[in-house]
Amino acid sequence: MKKAVYPGSFDLFTNGHLDIIQRASKLVDELHVLVADNHDKVPVFTIEERVKMVSLVTSHLPNVVVKATDQLVVNYAKENDIIMIIRGLRNLLDYVGEYRLYSFNKTLDADIETVIMFPSVENHYVSSSAIKELVAHDVDISRYVPNQILPVILEKYKKLVK
């Protein structure tokens, strides 16, 4: 069974994330979407809230497993017999960080491959930080986030900007 992991903080889950998940799920028998904390960011949603949101918007994908972790992704992969880490790459700024992660992961476990996926054209510019800025300015974000979680996102972020 071929398994992959798609990790992220998903602290504002976007249609760009969902796009990568849907496409990656077609490449493997089992795709683990791994919700993790990024120590460089202060999350708005708890890890439990993020797992719940990702689970809700991926419930139509039978081979997707949503989990949370506080360990290194490469260690999670080893423990779960996962051979591939899926990463999304939107632009050249993302490239530097992704290449650094790839290099570290390869030194930690040479058998785990990193596969880069580009978002579809309509999602290549979508980012959590840009969407947060739009919410702060009361702009409609419905084209950027899954409809199932839009009310939860708006409620949480509008409380923060008041």
CA angle 7, 108, 64 (to 5 degrees): 25
Mark whether 55 is an active-site residue.
Answer: no
The catalytically annotated residue of 9, 25, 50, 128 is: 128
The catalytically annotated residue of 17, 32, 50, 87 is: 17
The catalytically annotated residue of 23, 67, 90, 156 is: 90
Residue in the structure block whose two tokens are 């490449």 = 27
**Is the four-CA dihedral 117, 68, 109, 38 of positive or negative sign?**
positive
Mark whether 17 is an active-site residue.
Answer: yes
The catalytically annotated residue of 41, 103, 142, 158 is: 41
Residue in the structure block whose two tokens are 């081979």 = 63
Mark whether 41 is an active-site residue.
Answer: yes
Q: % helix / strand / coil in the chain, to the nearest 5?
A: 45, 20, 40
Mark whether 137 is an active-site residue.
Answer: no
Active site amino acids: 17, 41, 90, 128
